[in-house]
């Protein structure tokens, strides 16, 4: 399943007793529709408040006959608009949403204007002070390649924090909207938000772009910037070896903000 969701109000993706999560909601819905216990696997366990446009989920079922279109309608009817199955198909033998993935791509959106926008508050980080975009772009360079990202990740005992980043860049979308995109083989917990938080400190003049490489080499979370808030982050795309799944749809058109007062 190719899944999109608004992470607001969810305590992350992974099922966690006592709180509402995207994964638990999705698994419970599938169990109700298929009338059998269902265990799901996702491509990336997003944190509380983080969104997704291109999350991928796999599960096993022996439900017969399995009408994919009806299953999609049923799940969306029970979960939308907070959680939506964009596409669904039978996966080949051995396919696993997490372990078959070869890359993940995240987007982080910053609204850099003096005045907040209520229409964008749920999906952006509002910063009123002007940001030095050129400096933030220079600060991206040290992340490319294979590195130990201990300075930018929550500690994970007995787990390697070495990751390979394929690309990292900032784009100016106009009208104060800045978008950071980063693609890597995989990410450790809170890695993207810590990177964005550090680069924003560069943009605010609190750090210099030339310091980013030293922060990365330090392997010390205390020397990097604070976490960027979760609402600006979205798991945008998950890549798999060729041939790509048939639901690997083109990205949606760029978001165009409605004018204030429009219906």
CB 197 within 8 A of CB 131: no
Distance CA 46, CA 43 (A): 9
CB 76 within 8 A of CB 205: no
Q: Which contacts qualify for 210-213: CB closer than 8 Å, 24 or more apart?
A: 210/138, 212/139, 212/141, 212/142, 212/143, 213/142
Active-site residues: which are they? 47
Distance CA 219, CA 137 (A): 22
DSSP state of 107: E
Residue found by looking up tokens 């609204």 in the block: 111
Closest by CA to 182, choosing from 259, 234, 116, 252, is 234
Q: Which residues contact 154 (CB under 8 A, 6 or more apart)?
A: 188, 189, 190, 221
**Exposed/middle/buried for 261, CB within 10 Å: 0-12, 13-18, 19+?**
exposed
CB 150 within 8 A of CB 219: yes
């Amino acid at each position: 399943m190719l899944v999109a969701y608004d992470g607001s109000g969810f305590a992350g993706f992974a099922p966690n007793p006592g709180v509402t999560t995207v994964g638990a909601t999705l698994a419970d819905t599938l169990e109700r529709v298929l009338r059998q216990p269902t265990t799901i696997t996702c491509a990336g366990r997003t944190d509380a408040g983080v969104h997704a446009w291109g999350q991928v989920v796999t599960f096993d079922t022996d439900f017969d006959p399995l009408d994919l279109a009806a299953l999609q309608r049923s799940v969306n009817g029970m979960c939308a608009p907070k959680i939506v199955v964009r596409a669904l198909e039978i996966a080949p033998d051995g396919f696993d949403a997490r372990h078959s993935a070869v890359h993940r791509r995240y987007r982080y959106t910053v609204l850099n204007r003096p005045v907040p926008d209520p229409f964008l508050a749920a999906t952006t980080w509002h910063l009123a002070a002007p940001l030095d975009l050129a400096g933030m772009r220079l600060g991206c360079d040290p992340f490319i390649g294979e590195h130990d990202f201990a300075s930018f990740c929550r500690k994970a005992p007995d787990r390697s924090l070495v990751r390979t980043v394929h690309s990292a860049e900032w784009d100016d979308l106009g009208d104060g909207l800045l978008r950071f995109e980063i693609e890597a083989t995989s990410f450790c917990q809170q890695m993207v938000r810590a990177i964005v938080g550090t680069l924003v400190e560069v943009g605010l003049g609190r750090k210099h772009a030339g310091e980013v490489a030293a922060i990365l080499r330090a392997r010390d979370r205390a020397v990097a910037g604070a976490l960027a808030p979760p609402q600006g982050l979205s798991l945008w795309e998950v890549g798999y070896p060729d041939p790509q799944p048939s639901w690997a749809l083109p990205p949606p058109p760029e978001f165009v903000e409605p004018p204030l007062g429009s219906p």
